[in-house]
Chains A and B, each alone.
Chain A
Amino acid sequence: MGIYDLLFWVLSAIAVGCALGVILSRNPVNSVMFLILTFFSISGHYILMNAQFLAVVNIIVYAGAIMVLFLFVIMLMNLNADVEPQKGQLVQLAGVISGGVMFLVLLAAIKTAVPVSIDTNSIDIGLITNLGKVLFKEYVLPFEISSVLFLSAMIGAVVIGKKEPLTQEGEV
């Protein structure tokens, strides 16, 4: 068992364990912490697969920006385990069973897939030079459209998040 396999199994165990922690912990703040750990282990997977730039972007965007936003909102609302709404046992069991059945169906579907071994020769694909060339040569239009998407999302968030009396004043 090489170092690659060992790291793969360790990172996978961390990712799955923390993902289970996200859905099982009752305190929302703990859920956010577990999700950040999951993102870090996924970033570890990216580094393992020579996608260094994506790993850094994943940490900055997901663990750094998005999860901090979640944490702010949770702390703003003062949520904790005492006010956490819980579904009934039966509904939770139904959720686990339906998720597990979907897992089994897809597992049976991909069980017969021919395993392709990892290509360890291509080590420079994930570098920013390479990705930038592909992004700005072949994906210029989606890149520009995504900037429009960002702008509209920002405007939408501001419009939705405004207080009601303020919008009425703005209209008058």
Chain B
Amino acid sequence: MPVNSTHYLFLSLLLFSIGIMGTLMRRNAIIIFMCIELMLNSVNLLLVAFSKIYADPNAQIFVFFNMVVAASEVAVGLAIIVMMYRKVHSVDINILNRLKH
């Protein structure tokens, strides 16, 4: 069976689910952050696939804006994680549950 749109749907769905599993499984804040990046990238892959299928360049422009958002998110998020490490000397997200008590 030649590759068609369904294959790309399945592939990016698989990558997205792996990202969700990693977000739920791990306690290291940086790894959770990386799993969010993985989910963003799976969406980018699907956008490019649809851009190819329907011969439409607009989808690829949206991938650019996704990258812009991801880059600024990483800058701010890593600054927050570094600050958190400076305060509590750990990147364990279970320490950050003081709001609960």
Contacts and interface: CB of A to CB of B under 8 A. Distances in A.
Interface of A: 2, 4-5, 8, 12, 15-16, 19-20, 22-23, 28, 31-32, 35, 38-39, 42, 45-46, 49-51, 54, 57-58, 61-62, 65-66, 69-70, 73-74, 76-77, 79, 84-87, 91-92, 94-96, 98-100, 102-103, 106-107, 110, 113, 115-119, 121-122, 125-126, 130-131, 134-135, 138-139, 142, 146, 149-150, 152-154, 156-158, 160-161, 163
A42 B10 CA distance: 14
A125 B79 contact: no
Given A153-B75, A156-B75, 5 more contacts: A66-B37, A79-B91, A99-B24, A138-B58, A139-B65
Interface in B2-55: 2-7, 9-11, 13-15, 17-28, 30-31, 33-35, 37-38, 41, 44-45, 48-49, 51-55
6 contacts: A19-B15, A79-B91, A96-B21, A110-B6, A150-B71, A153-B72
Contact of B5 (A19, A116, A157): A116
A95 B37 contact: no
Nearest to B2: A5
A88 to B, nearest CB: 10
Interface of B: 2-7, 9-11, 13-15, 17-28, 30-31, 33-35, 37-38, 41, 44-45, 48-49, 51-58, 60-61, 63-65, 67-76, 78-83, 85-86, 90-92, 94
Given A122-B55, A146-B65, A149-B69, A70 B34 contact: yes
Contact of A94 (B24, B49, B65): B24
B57 A134 contact: yes
Rank and list the top 8 A-B pairs by shortest CB-CB distance, nearest first.
Answer: A95-B24, A153-B72, A23-B22, A99-B21, A103-B17, A122-B55, A115-B4, A49-B52
Contacts of B92: 85
Contacts, number: 229
Contacts of B91: 77, 79, 85
